[in-house]
Amino acid sequence: MELYIVKSGDTVYQIAHRYSTPVNDIIFANQLQNPNVLSVGQALIIPTDETRLTVGRGDTLYSIARRHGITLQRLIAANPQIANPNRVYPGQTILIPADGRHGREIVVNGYVTDAEDGTLNAALPYLTFLSPFSYRSDLSGNLTPTFHLNTALSGGHRTANLLTLTNLLETGRFSSQIAHAVLTDQAVQDAFLQNVETLLGQGGWYGVNVDFEYVYQFDRESYNQFLRRLTQRMHQLGHIVVTALAPKLSDSQQGLLYSAHDYPSHGQTVDYVVLMTYEWGYTYGPAMAVAPLNMVRRVLDYAVQVMPPEKILMGVPNYGYDWTLPFTQGTAARSLTNIDAAALAGQVGASIQYDQAAQSPFFRYYDRDGRQHEVWFEDARSLRAKYALVNEYGLAGVSFWNLNKLFRTNFLVLESMFRVEKVL
């Protein structure tokens, strides 16, 4: 797999010829909606048998080897043209050996709220766990599904299903009151756990994934105690427990989204923790990257100090946003897929730029009414930068929000760097 950045005048046919790759392979890999329209700055995956990497500023052979999950000796052996392995320069091209394009085995979770069978079938080979979102609790501990999974699909790909449990209202908003009831009322908690066991007993579930958000600060220890009780019961029944946590920078971070999420306690109690490292750029906020790498790093810097890195699944977004400028408080950005974002750039004739600090692509354009827009999304470059953190921090793996729409580039980049653990 190669990564190519479109330049002025490029066509998909010229690029295919340059890499001796069939045009249709490039169109398929990148899900190009209109192959005749490319944007300057657009990142394209080129399916090839070899992977060549351009050395970036600050790169060393050691850092590149670590990023790709291979030994330094193996990388040096694959690049005999490098006279001094201790000195590489920005702009140099090096070969990532074939056995280095499928590095260490990692755990991959994917949430889904609404997806067609074809989309799921394309994703399942790349997943350890699939987390249908979700079974929502009410104030009495009853559980209601909001997404019905075709378990035959996941079973055919050896993907394990996780029963995702939330404190969502029917409107889709998280309820602090529901969380409070489940965490503090013994009768409600007993009913909740019995309902969980009943669902698990029906088969098709490998474990549970608890995503309780906007939990009252004063319920923090009650949440910890609930997870200890839940985990003990799940382990007795042969199931695992995963929790989802807000992206905290310190234990003292305030706010309803953060304060009750106790990183050290969750890390000590459950099997895996999903860090929701996204939504810095969000629907009602100003234009910025959804998951800027510099902010993701700050979350990981804290997390690995207080919980085992081998339990951490780093959140990766599978979407972008289109904001109308200037940003006005109370206005909403439009959510769009990464494929649609790249296609939009082509439609409006925008050049795609790449923010080095955020390690994310973006572009600006004017609509028919003369209003300026700013779009942030994910591409092969931003995904590769995120996945490199998995090796750098020694994480268990990643978790996608969400897999409702296929973004084939994501899986091709993932596959070029890791092998996916299968527990079935």
Among 16, 110, 7, 69, smallest CA distance to 384 is for 69
pLDDT, tens only, 7-46: 999 999 999 999 889 999 999 999 999 999 999 999 999 9
- Given CA atoms 59, 61, 65, 68 in this order, what sign does their dihedral have? positive
Residue pair 31/339 in contact by the 8 Å Cβ criterion: yes
55 and 165 fall within a common domain: no
What is the pLDDT, as a whole number, of residue 102? 58
312 and 291 fall within a common domain: yes
Query: Is position 387 within any domain?
Result: yes
Instruction: Please pick, among 2, 213, 374, 378, the residue that the annotation labels catalytic.
Output: 213
CB proximity list for 356: less than 8 A, separation 6 or greater = none
156 and 175 fall within a common domain: yes
117 and 147 fall within a common domain: yes
Query: Is position 337 within any domain?
Result: no
21 and 166 fall within a common domain: no
Higher pLDDT, 415 or 260: 260
67 and 146 fall within a common domain: no
What is the pLDDT, as a whole number, of residue 97? 74
71 and 208 fall within a common domain: no
What is the pLDDT, as a whole number, of residue 153? 75
What is the pLDDT, as a whole number, of residue 99? 55
Query: Is position 168 within any domain?
Result: yes
What is the pLDDT, as a whole number, of residue 103? 73
Mean of all residue pLDDT scores within the chain? 94
- Side-chain-facing half-sphere of 417: CA atoms under 13 Å: 29
Q: Considering 68, 100, 132, which residue would you say is the last residue of a domain?
A: 100
Query: Is position 346 within any domain?
Result: no
Q: Which two tokens stand for residue 59?
A: 């790169």
Amino acid letter, 56: G
58 and 160 fall within a common domain: no
Angle, vertex CA 296, rays to CA 285 and CA 173, nearest 5: 45
What is the pLDDT, as a whole number, of residue 81? 87
Res 299 pLDDT > 60: yes
278 and 158 fall within a common domain: yes
254 and 214 fall within a common domain: yes
110 and 95 fall within a common domain: no
Query: Is position 348 within any domain?
Result: no
- Please give the share of the chain, as a percent, with pLDDT higher than 90: 82
Phi-psi region of 342 (alpha: psi -120 to 50; beta: other; left: phi over 0): alpha
Amino acid letter, 381: R
Longest C-alpha distance within the chain, in Å?
A: 71
- Side-chain-facing half-sphere of 269: CA atoms under 13 Å: 24
The arithmetic mean of pLDDT across residues 372-391, rounded, is 97
Res 156 pLDDT > 90: no
Cis bond leading into 326, ω under 30°?
yes
Q: In this structure, what CATH number is given to the domain that contains residue 276?
A: 3.20.20.80
Per-residue pLDDT band at 117 (split at 50, 70, 90): confident
pLDDT, tens only, 207-238: 999 999 999 999 999 999 999 999 999 999 99
The arithmetic mean of pLDDT across residues 390-414, rounded, is 96
Range of 37's domain? Answer: 2-100
Per-residue pLDDT band at 50 (split at 50, 70, 90): low
Number of domains in the chain: 2
Query: Is position 352 within any domain?
Result: no
Q: Cα separation of 61 and 189, whole Å?
A: 53
Total number of residues shown for the chain: 424
Angle, vertex CA 74, rays to CA 420 and CA 314, nearest 5: 30
Higher pLDDT, 70 or 239: 239
Q: Cα separation of 244 and 221, whole Å?
A: 16
pLDDT, tens only, 166-216: 999 999 999 999 999 999 999 999 999 999 999 999 988 999 999 999 999
Q: Considering 61, 77, 100, which residue would you say is the last residue of a domain?
A: 100
Q: In this structure, what CATH number is given to the domain that contains residue 47?
A: 3.10.350.10
Q: Considering 74, 100, 126, which residue would you say is the last residue of a domain?
A: 100
Query: Is position 336 within any domain?
Result: no
32 and 12 fall within a common domain: yes
Q: How many CB atoms sit inside 10 A of residue 393's CB?
A: 15
- Side-chain-facing half-sphere of 283: CA atoms under 13 Å: 4
What is the pLDDT, as a whole number, of residue 263? 98
Query: Is position 192 within any domain?
Result: yes
pLDDT, tens only, 305-353: 999 999 999 999 999 999 999 999 999 999 999 999 999 999 999 999 9
Q: Is 197 a catalytic residue?
A: no
To the nearest 10 degrees (0 to 180), the angle between helices 23-30 and 408-417 is 100
